Amino acid sequence: MRAAVRTKRPRRPPPAATAQLASSSRPKLEKAQVPLTLPLKSFKFRLANGPPLAPTPKAFKSYAETCATLLRLCRAAATATSHAAPASSSPSSDRLPLALSLHAHAVRSGVAADRSVASHLLTTYAAFARAAERDRAFGDCVAADAASPFAYDFMVSEHVKAGDIASARRLFDGMPDRTVVSYTTMVDALMKRGRVAEAVELYEQCPSGSVAFFTATISGFVRNELHHNALGVFRKMLSCRVRPNGITIVCMIKACVGAGEFGLALSIVGLAIKSNFFESSIEVQNSLITLYLRMGDAAAARKVFDEMDVKDVVSWTALLDVYSESGDLDGARRVLDAMPERNEVSWGTLIARHEQRGNAAEAVKLYSQMLADGCRPNISCFSSVLSACASLEDLRGGARIHARSLKMGSSTNVFVSCSLIDMYCKCNKCGDAQTIFDTLPQKNIVCWNSLVSGYSYNGKMVEAMYLFKKMPARNLASWNTIISGYAQNRQFVDALKSFNAMLASGQVPGEITFSSVLLACANLCSLVTGKMAHAKTIKLGIEESIFIGTALSDMYAKSGDLQSSKRMFYQMPERNDVTWTAMIQGLAENGFAEESILLFEDMMATGMTPNEHTFLALLFACSHGGLVEQAIHYFDKMQALGISPKEKHYTCMVDVLARAGRLAEAEALLMKTPSKSEANSWAALLSACNTYRNEEIAERAAKRLHELAKDNTAGYVLLSNMYASCGRWKDAARIRVLMKGTTLKKDGGCSWVQVRGQYHAFFSWEAKHPLSMEIDEILDLLMWESSL
């Protein structure tokens, strides 16, 4: 019975079985298992019948071929095992001892040095992940002069796969004749590790070129964001008459997108269609979706997706990004839910987009949903969600993610580490950030910049500068970090000093640099320095930039040169809400309240939407111009536009009302303030009470101020002055005593002069200037002379 069934099956398999075989996702496994039994049986038979000697050349050849075939079958079994499900792994795993005994017999029979057998031994051991035996087999190969170029190629690639570039390189350098395959392997490995210079050297050394060789170089340049070099390699490839294939097209589309060469990209797409790569390759179609998306043609991207016969996760993820890029994050979420399968990249895309658009809370929420969906976060996910935690200042959440990244071994990745450093610093945990930094096995320049920026964020400019000086290398971002750090911490003199150091170091400043430098100039009212900075922006050809233009206009206004400020403003090719706000504020601060209000009306007329800062500038104008009615009008208008007033808006309103003597209204508004902690408003009211001699409200204001202004020196000073001006000397003295008791000190005055590009600052509370002794002496001399 059994025999009958067996003999029938190979002749005419049942239709169901054929269908199953055809649809199997692992045809290799089937192929390897089916023919293995017969040759093995005959081999065992030979072993059992005496030592297999090879007396005639014909017999030798036949025996070597048998060995090679058997080893190939062993290797195929090993590869099939590593890809197959665990259940089916047991029948193939016993092939390793077989391979070992084959090896022994091959040695004894003298066929081990046969090129084919030697190569098979090498690949078999590699397939069974036996590195030691593999290396010995290769060593034997070389010793017996049986090492084919293939054996060398294979070993180079094995070292690269193990991450041992040094060994790969050593082997490559010692190769008798280097093949284009090993050149390809080396160039690719070096490019993937960012060692572009070495890769380029090999690229130029390689005497010939294949599609894979050129494509690997193109891909390497793209990976290292050297898109124009990639385009150059493509031109070289064409001039060498090497025809691109689908993989080349994919890499070139990426290169063109990176270089912004959309015209070239489209002609390459034309080439792909002509060569029929487009129809046959899902990857080419996927990269086309992204190409159209980056060109800003979402409809075309959508069309490519819709017309695809077969779509995979990548296609769906690309579509998801088509939605998120156009700002439709809800649509992107719908795509995510509709996808037949999702992976961590799909989730990561959505998380990153939410994080970029400032919706950090949603990013964190999506992250937990991703985990619930069973996706393991990768480097990018960690990086995005940690940035989200940083902006939420969510230390607990951030630390939890830190723990997971530790468990997954991703925490030492530079991207994740930088995000971690940033997150801990934003949560005011500089110590933890420093620990992460110190324990990093390899740091890049971004890690240094992150920590410098973190210290600046926490106002620790001494630490920031210490670190900045210790940096092994500095780039534009490093200089921007330290300069903006000083500017944000209002150490404007230091900001300008660093700017000068930057210029001296030969680093060319960028837009961000100038926005900090101009901010410093504006705050120091240093028109000369500001003008020099302006000249530099013209020289660099960036004065037309919206950021630079705004900063310049602001700098001129703050320095009192309204003429230049206005000229900058009106010359700008385009203006945004920040630009308008800066000009409105500039006019207000220089006392042109009416003009400021008129400019605001112009802004509204152009259809620009004002923000809370715009209204603050406007209310400031009203307050300084004493325009009470307008202030009330704009205060209402602001709320009508859906902008809720913040403390500073209330302060302005209280100020304008109080200055006009409408003290009761001011007090009433202040009582309505959602945040009761604004001491400055009470101080403004108190100050006005002083002017209008309203002791009744003054008492209440003083009481509130006293409660709130535990650390507000201005409040104490005002209160004390108020009592003094009313003749209530005892109260005034009491406040002064109170100030001393709470270790509060009135902020000292500070002034500075610029002499030959150097800033010299003078402080009222201590003699900090190194030459203060000499300066004082000369001052005494001058005073004595003038008194004569």
Residues that bind DNA (CB under 7 A): 68-69, 72, 115-116, 119-120, 123, 148-150, 153-154, 157, 179-181, 184-185, 188, 210-213, 215-216, 219, 245-248, 250-251, 254, 281-284, 286-287, 290, 293, 312-314, 317-318, 321, 343-346, 348-349, 352-353, 356, 378-380, 383-384, 415
Q: Which amino acid is at 142?
A: V
* CB of 335 or CB of 520, closer to DNA: 335
- What distance in Å separates the CA atoms of residue 282 and residue 309, rounded to the nearest whole number? 9
What would the two tokens of residue 327 be? 């700002």
> Least distance to DNA from the beta carbon of 394, Å?
19
Q: At 250, phi and psi to the nearest 5?
A: -60, -50
* CB of 161 or CB of 170, closer to DNA: 161
Question: Any idea what DSSP says for residue 146?
Answer: -
What would the two tokens of residue 783 be? 């005073």
> Least distance to DNA from the beta carbon of 156, Å?
9
> Least distance to DNA from the beta carbon of 108, Å?
21
* CB of 288 or CB of 467, closer to DNA: 288
> Least distance to DNA from the beta carbon of 64, Å?
11
> Least distance to DNA from the beta carbon of 482, Å?
23
* CB of 153 or CB of 595, closer to DNA: 153
* CB of 95 or CB of 353, closer to DNA: 353
* CB of 343 or CB of 369, closer to DNA: 343
* CB of 109 or CB of 498, closer to DNA: 109
* CB of 281 or CB of 488, closer to DNA: 281
> Least distance to DNA from the beta carbon of 342, Å?
10
Contact partners, residue 220, CB within 8 Å, separation at least 6:
187, 188, 190, 191, 192, 196, 199
- What distance in Å separates the CA atoms of residue 252 and residue 508, rounded to the nearest whole number? 31
Q: H-helix or E-strand containing 751?
A: strand 750-755
Q: Which amino acid is at 521?
A: C
Q: Can you tell me whether residue 274 is helix, strand or coil?
A: helix
> Least distance to DNA from the beta carbon of 378, Å?
5
The answer to whether 180 and 209 are in contact (CB under 8 A) is: yes
The answer to whether 555 and 591 are in contact (CB under 8 A) is: no
* CB of 176 or CB of 748, closer to DNA: 176
* CB of 72 or CB of 460, closer to DNA: 72
Q: H-helix or E-strand containing 92?
A: helix 90-93
Q: 136: closest CA among 121, 117, 146?
A: 121
> Least distance to DNA from the beta carbon of 657, Å?
48
DSSP secondary structure string for all residues of 154-215:
HHHHHHHHTT-HHHHHHHHHT-SS--HHHHHHHHHHHHHTT-HHHHHHHHHH-SS--HHHHH
User: In degrees, to the nearest 5, what angle opens at C-alpha 611 toward C-alphas 606 and 612?
Assistant: 145
> Least distance to DNA from the beta carbon of 563, Å?
43
The answer to whether 481 and 495 are in contact (CB under 8 A) is: no
* CB of 181 or CB of 482, closer to DNA: 181
> Least distance to DNA from the beta carbon of 406, Å?
19
Q: 542: closest CA among 518, 526, 506?
A: 518
- What distance in Å separates the CA atoms of residue 528 and residue 534, rounded to the nearest whole number? 10
> Least distance to DNA from the beta carbon of 287, Å?
4
> Between the CA of residue 18 and those of 9, 24, 405, 781, what are the distances in Å?
11, 10, 46, 110
> Least distance to DNA from the beta carbon of 321, Å?
5
> Least distance to DNA from the beta carbon of 564, Å?
39
> Least distance to DNA from the beta carbon of 420, Å?
15
Report, in this order, helix, strand and coil percent for the chain, each rounded to 5.
75, 0, 25
* CB of 121 or CB of 464, closer to DNA: 121
> Least distance to DNA from the beta carbon of 320, Å?
8
DSSP secondary structure string for all residues of 447-486:
HHHHHHHHHHHTT-HHHHHHHHHH-S---HHHHHHHHHHH
Q: Can you tell me whether residue 500 is helix, strand or coil?
A: helix
Q: Which amino acid is at 17?
A: A
* CB of 80 or CB of 524, closer to DNA: 80
Q: Can you tell me whether residue 763 is helix, strand or coil?
A: strand
Check the CA dihedral 753-756-757-758 and report its sign.
negative
Tokens 């695809």, residue? Answer: 308
Q: Which amino acid is at 673?
A: T
* CB of 79 or CB of 579, closer to DNA: 79
> Least distance to DNA from the beta carbon of 743, Å?
45
- What distance in Å separates the CA atoms of residue 448 and residue 377, rounded to the nearest whole number? 25
* CB of 114 or CB of 561, closer to DNA: 114
> Least distance to DNA from the beta carbon of 478, Å?
19
> Least distance to DNA from the beta carbon of 154, Å?
7
What would the two tokens of residue 354 be? 């939410």
SS3 track for 289-342:
HHHHHHCCCHHHHHHHHHCCCCCCHHHHHHHHHHHHHCCCHHHHHHHHHHCCCC
Tokens 């193109």, residue? Answer: 218
DSSP secondary structure string for all residues of 584-624:
HHHHHHTT-HHHHHHHHHHHHHTTPPP-HHHHHHHHHHHHH
Bridge partners for 763 per DSSP = 750
- What distance in Å separates the CA atoms of residue 614 and residue 27, rounded to the nearest whole number? 68
* CB of 150 or CB of 262, closer to DNA: 150
